[in-house]
């Protein structure tokens, strides 16, 4: 019974059986009552006809004519019987139809009162009888009591009742069957949206569909909408974790390169200190990236002011070790008292990715300037970070593609192609933007503007 349509069909069947059963009982009772009342009216009419036909003879006795208006009284075994008894219960007259039948005497009715009874013949044939006691004036004002009694066999009546019941059960059975078939078809049509949801969810699991369609009844629209929200949420969560892992791998690239450079030139007296510095930075990066998926935009209200100059010096020192062989000239200009309101990891991602990109593509010179946005002061938390180099630059028609994850202009150059995409995402999360243009040094210029909060 796991099918919803089967449950509904069985429930409806039980209700139909109950209500149809009650209806059959009510109709049968009403039909039988109406039939019995009709039988009583017919007997009453026959009794009135007998009373009208009775006459007092010259001998002073009450007599009935040989031929009555109702011919069934004259046919033996017709099923309609009549008799008349005196006050001692002796039969005064009996219809020809009752000659071979001993009618039951039954109860004695009171004078002028009709008495209907259900009685049986000796052979078990059921009868409906009507008795009436009257005081008949014989002669000279003399009244004598007589009891008139008519009876009719109920075999025909019971046969009609049985036939009516058979027809009743037959018609109601046919109606119930038609209704169940109709309800079954109707349920199949009504439950089609549920099967559609099931099929579409299966297609989503197979990767053939991204979300549920919106073509559902009003009752299921909310379910489909919430299901789509759940699917989008899970897909976004998966994308965030994938992006975080990409960011983590990309962020660890620079410290690993610095550690490799330190290992190559490990004869320095400050080797251990610098090596531990890179390890600590990798630990900070790991903690930052693992914390980032759970963070929300509302957390920006609780972020501290990051000292920009200190973080930039750390980045530049590490990049000089990474690009020791190339030995680029890295110029930094940081406005006095510059503070960035945000996560220190976000700032390191922005500045580190742009500086690393510039060092990778420059000929010799890299320049970074950080100052407040227009209309802001150094301590307000906003910043405008500009990184320029004297490299080959970026074609104008390639800037949009370069900001997509995994896109690189030169596949022969080592890298993952996600650095600029990470910078763009972080800047936009703070309400800022990344703009790529041509540098006055001859290469590319990247400008990140984050407004004050």
pLDDT tens figures, 61-110: 788 888 888 888 888 878 899 998 888 888 888 888 888 788 887 777 88
Does this model's pTM top 0.85? My answer is no
pLDDT band at 258 (very low <50, low <70, confident <90, very high): low
Find the range with the poorest average confidence among 97-101, 186-190, 263-267: 263-267
Kindly state the average pLDDT of the residues 402-418: 54
Residue 302's pLDDT is 46
- Strands across the sheet containing 114-120: 91-94, 80-85, 143-153, 126-137, 114-120
Q: First vs last Cα of the chain: how many Å apart? A: 60
Instruction: Give the tens place of pLDDT for each residue, 355-376.
Output: 998 998 899 999 999 999 988 8
Residue 297's pLDDT is 40
Domains of the chain, CATH where assigned: 4-161 (3.30.450), 296-450 (3.30.565.10)
What is the rounded distance in angstroms from the CA atom of residue 211 to the CA atom of residue 193?
15
For residue 386, pLDDT over 90 is answered with yes
pLDDT band at 271 (very low <50, low <70, confident <90, very high): low
Kindly state the average pLDDT of the residues 424-442: 90
Instruction: Give the tens place of pLDDT for each residue, 106-150.
Output: 777 888 888 999 888 888 889 999 999 998 887 777 888 889 999
For residue 284, pLDDT over 90 is answered with no
Question: Contact 411/404 with Cβ under 8 angstroms?
Answer: no
The token pair that represents 349 in the structure block: 């991602």
452: left (phi over 0), alpha (psi -120 to 50) or beta: beta
Residue 365's pLDDT is 94
pLDDT band at 443 (very low <50, low <70, confident <90, very high): very high
What is the rounded distance in angstroms from the CA atom of residue 94 to the CA atom of residue 63?
11
Residue 288's pLDDT is 62
What is the rounded distance in angstroms from the CA atom of residue 393 to the CA atom of residue 260?
28
Residue 236's pLDDT is 75
Closest by CA to 426, choosing from 395, 383, 396, is 383
Rg (CA), the chain: 55
For residue 269, pLDDT over 90 is answered with no
Residue 167's pLDDT is 92
Instruction: Give the tens place of pLDDT for each residue, 319-333.
Output: 888 888 888 999 999
Check residues 352 and 248 and name the one with the higher pLDDT: 352
Find the range with the poorest average confidence among 45-49, 256-260, 401-405, 443-447: 256-260
pLDDT band at 163 (very low <50, low <70, confident <90, very high): very high
Give the Cβ contact number of residue 112 at 10 Å. 9
Q: Tell me the β-bridge partners of 446.
A: 387, 436
Q: Average pLDDT over the chain, rounded to whole? A: 82
Residue 438's pLDDT is 92
Give DSSP secondary structure letters for 276-308: HHHHHHHHHHHHHHHHGGG--GGGGGGPPEEEH
Name the packing angle between helices 192-205 and 218-264 (round to 10°).
Answer: 10
Residue 329's pLDDT is 93
Residue 352: alpha-carbon gap to chain centroid: 50
């Amino acid at each position: 019974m796991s099918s919803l349509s089967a449950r509904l069909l069985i429930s409806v069947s039980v209700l139909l059986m109950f209500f149809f059963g009650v209806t059959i009982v009510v109709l049968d009772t009403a039909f039988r009552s109406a039939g019995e009342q009709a039988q009583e009216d017919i007997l009453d009419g026959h009794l009135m006809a007998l009373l009208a036909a009775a006459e007092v003879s010259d001998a002073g006795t009450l007599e009935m004519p040989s031929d009555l208006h109702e011919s069934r009284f004259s046919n033996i075994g017709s099923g309609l019987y009549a008799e008349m008894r005196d006050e001692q219960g002796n039969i005064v007259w009996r219809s020809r139809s009752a000659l071979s039948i001993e009618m039951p005497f039954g109860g004695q009715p009171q004078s002028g009162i009709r008495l209907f009874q259900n009685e049986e013949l000796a052979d078990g044939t059921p009868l409906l009888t009507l008795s009436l006691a009257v005081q008949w004036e014989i002669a000279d004002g003399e009244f004598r009591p007589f009891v008139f009694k008519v009876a009719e066999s109920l075999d025909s009546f019971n046969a009609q009742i049985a036939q009516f019941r058979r027809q009743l059960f037959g018609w109601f059975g046919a109606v119930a069957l038609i209704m169940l078939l109709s309800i079954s078809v109707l349920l199949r049509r009504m439950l089609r949206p549920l099967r559609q949801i099931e099929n579409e969810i299966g297609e989503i699991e197979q990767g053939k569909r991204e979300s549920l369609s919106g073509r559902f009844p009003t009752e299921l629209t909310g379910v489909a909408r919430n299901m789509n929200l759940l699917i989008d949420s899970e897909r976004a969560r998966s994308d965030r974790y994938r992006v975080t892992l990409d960011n983590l791998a990309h962020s660890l690239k620079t410290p690993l390169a610095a550690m490799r450079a330190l290992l190559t030139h490990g004869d320095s007296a400050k080797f251990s200190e610098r090596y531990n510095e890179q390890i600590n930075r990798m630990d900070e990066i790991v903690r930052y990236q693992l914390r980032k998926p759970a963070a929300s935009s509302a957390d920006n209200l609780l972020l501290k002011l990051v000292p920009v100059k200190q973080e930039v010096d750390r980045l530049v020192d590490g990049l000089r070790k990474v690009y020791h062989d190339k030995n680029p000239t890295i110029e930094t200009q940081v406005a006095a008292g510059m503070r960035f309101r945000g996560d220190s990891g976000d700032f390191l991602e922005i500045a580190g990715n742009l500086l690393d990109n510039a060092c990778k593509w420059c000929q010799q010179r890299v320049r970074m300037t950080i100052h407040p946005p227009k209309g802001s002061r150094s301590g307000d938390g906003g910043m405008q970070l500009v990184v320029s180099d004297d490299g080959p630059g970026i074609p104008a028609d390639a800037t949009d593609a370069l900001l997509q994850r995994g896109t690189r202009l030169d596949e022969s150059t080592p890298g993952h192609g996600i650095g600029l995409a990470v910078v763009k995402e972080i800047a936009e999360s703070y309400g800022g933007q990344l703009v790529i243009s041509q540098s006055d040094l001859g290469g590319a210029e990247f400008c990140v503007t984050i407004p004050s909060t």
